[in-house]
Amino acid sequence: MIKGPTKLFGVIADPIDHVRAPMVFNPVFAERGIDAVMVPLHITPDDLELSIRGLAAMPNMGGICVTIPHKMTMARLCDELGLAAQLTGAVNAVRFEDGRLIGDNFDGEGFTAGLTGEGHSLNGANVVMIGAGGAARAIA
């Protein structure tokens, strides 16, 4: 049940139809008794900066997950970047703290953890990377 103190999180994209993060995060919030909800937010590139500033100003908005086509633009909009975001120039997660945007990128870490979890070793491996967007930058 969404109530007044419920912490809000969003996942931003354009288009939005492919987004699955709410289906992953909302059951975890419920299972762990966390009073939070994640919702998809369709934000176009032209409206990105204005929309993000509005979201960051909301006291009950905890942050956003970022996907296509916003990852590289979000890196420029953030007030502070984690190391992975600095190295890649792309952001896939933004935390809002006192109106500030703190961004980082977990795509590479998540991708490699998934491969390792499936029994694939990346040590000394040669790979072919198809793509050059925010996720590909983080994985490389």
- Residue 139: the pLDDT is 58
Q: Which residue among the candidates 21, 48, 71, 101 is catalytic per the annotation?
A: 71
Classify residue 119 as left (phi > 0), alpha (psi -120 to 50) or beta: left
- Residue 129: the pLDDT is 64
- Residue 111: the pLDDT is 54
* pTM recorded for the entire structure: 0.82
- Residue 106: the pLDDT is 84
Whether 51 shows a pLDDT value over 80: the answer reads yes
Whether 114 shows a pLDDT value over 80: the answer reads no
- Dist. CA 85–CA 88, nearest whole Å: 5
- Residue 121: the pLDDT is 72
Fold of 7-139: Rossmann fold (3.40.50)
Whether 71 is catalytic is yes
- Dist. CA 49–CA 19, nearest whole Å: 20
Averaged confidence pLDDT in the chain: 88
> pLDDT digits over 11-50, tens only?
999 999 999 999 999 999 999 999 999 999 999 999 999 9
Amino acid, res. 54: G
Enumerate the domain spans of the chain: 7-139
Mean pLDDT on 3-15: 97
- Residue 119: the pLDDT is 72
Mean pLDDT on 86-92: 94
> pLDDT digits over 70-82, tens only?
999 999 999 999 9
Mean pLDDT on 80-89: 94
| Close Cβ partners of 16 (under 8 Å, ≥ 6 residues apart) | 40, 41, 42
Backbone φ and ψ of 106, nearest 5°: -115, 10
